[in-house]
Amino acid sequence: MYVLLYNRLTGWLWFAIGIWGVFSQNIGDYILVTRPETYVSIALGLLGMFGARVQLRNQVIICTSLTLLNLIILVLASSPVGKALVGPTPLEGVFRFLCTLWGVYCLYNEVRFWIVRQKQAA
């Protein structure tokens, strides 16, 4: 349940940011979307949308990958190397941080529900 919603909402969020980046390079002063970021955002969005339509175990795998990718990009954008490649923008950082926290929460709930189902089956 939680990973389905996570995959769907984060998928649409990053897809919308990617499409916005195709037509306009920025969203005010809050997000500056470069061409590589545009394609990465579209790919993350499509992965999330695909993840909302598959079986539960694949939803969890896609939720894990989206969470880890958001965390890696967030950490990379905060590093000195990342600042040279991709300038951190405040709104994008907030989106990535919230997506990472929400992804960890969803994964925790799915693992907890899986343990409960295993105990009930035994």
DSSP string, 53-94: TS-HHHHHHHHHHHHHHHHHHHHHHHSHHHHHHS---HHHHH
Q: For 56-113, what is each residue's pLDDT tens digit?
A: 889 999 999 999 998 998 888 888 877 766 666 788 888 889 999 999 999 999 999 9
Domain that holds residue 6: 2-121
Tell me how far apart the alpha carbons of residues 2 and 35 are, in angstroms, rounded to a whole number. 31
Q: For 32-49, what is each residue's pLDDT tens digit?
A: 888 888 898 899 999 999
Please tell me the total count of domains within the chain: 1
Output the pTM of the full model.
0.84
| Residue 34 structure tokens | 């470069």
